Structure 1
Amino acid sequence: MTQSENTPRCILALDLGTTTGWAIRGYDGLITTGTASFRPGRYDGGGMRYLRFTNWLTELDRLSGPIAAIWFEEVRRHAGTDAAHVYGGLIASLTAWAELRGIPYQGVPVGTIKRHATGHGNAPKQAMIAAARARGYSPADDNEADAIAILHWALETWGGVA
């Protein structure tokens, strides 16, 4: 095995939404997590949320990358139309951004993530936060907890390779 094969690859996990949870394992093996808000401003046009999201991805790639693979929560059902539209726009922005850079990406079903983190495929938000805390993290909310769970699922089941 060469040195480059021994070096961990930079893996990004995302829980997409107006408040996006993220977790990244850097090339140095360290895991960093957080949330990013893509709430539109009062005078923003309809596409500004997605432009800010792609700019955020580019900055994350520049500062922590290069990103080698992206995993995201694949939501098949939304409680409301607005949430579904936002999610669809973020998915479109994410996949186009990744395609332009040749970065593999893959969605992970919600139930799969919850089952891996808590043992229950329909775990509530508080259980996901508790599972992240049990791993030694201090998530700000369920979005960050979900991203942590996605990252650990990807690393433990796929080695992080999408």
Structure 2
Amino acid sequence: MVEVQKSEFKARRERLLAQMDKNSVAIIPAASEVTRSRDTEYAFRQDSDFFYLTGFNEPDAVLVLCNNSDAPSTLFCLDKDKLAEIWHGRRVGFDKAKSDYLFDEAYPLSELNDKLLDILNEKDAIYFAQGAYTSFDTKVFTLLGTLRSGARKGLKA
């Protein structure tokens, strides 16, 4: 990816962060692959909002923007997996995604629930496109439920 493009995606994330309310988080999921029949998927097309902010063109990733953090932009993506890459093509991986796409932090998708719970704790507002991806809605509402019921653990929704 050309340096100018990398910095443009980072600038777009920074503009969005500047427009968000104080102490808030934006969660933008990537598109998922859609199965056509049994073992065949439709051609993958990334979610437009996600791609506009990241330039990252892999399925199932999640961008988290937090405007009161040392790491305002965090990407969660599929990890490198040699066997999966044989069937689904090469993956960037979270280490290379951080440097190549100028994210402040990047983690494997398997750490999303734990890290996102920490990120959402004590935030005043959460921005996400409710209804765009129903499986992701369930994940966010489950995390919010955990925050609401975790007052004894120091959690606050």
Q: Which has the higher contact order (CA 8 A, sep 6+)?
A: 1
* Fold in common (TM above 0.5): no
Normalising by structure 1, we get a TM-score of 0.29
Specify which structure has the higher proportion of helix. 1
Normalising by structure 2, we get a TM-score of 0.30
Structure number with larger C-alpha Rg: 2
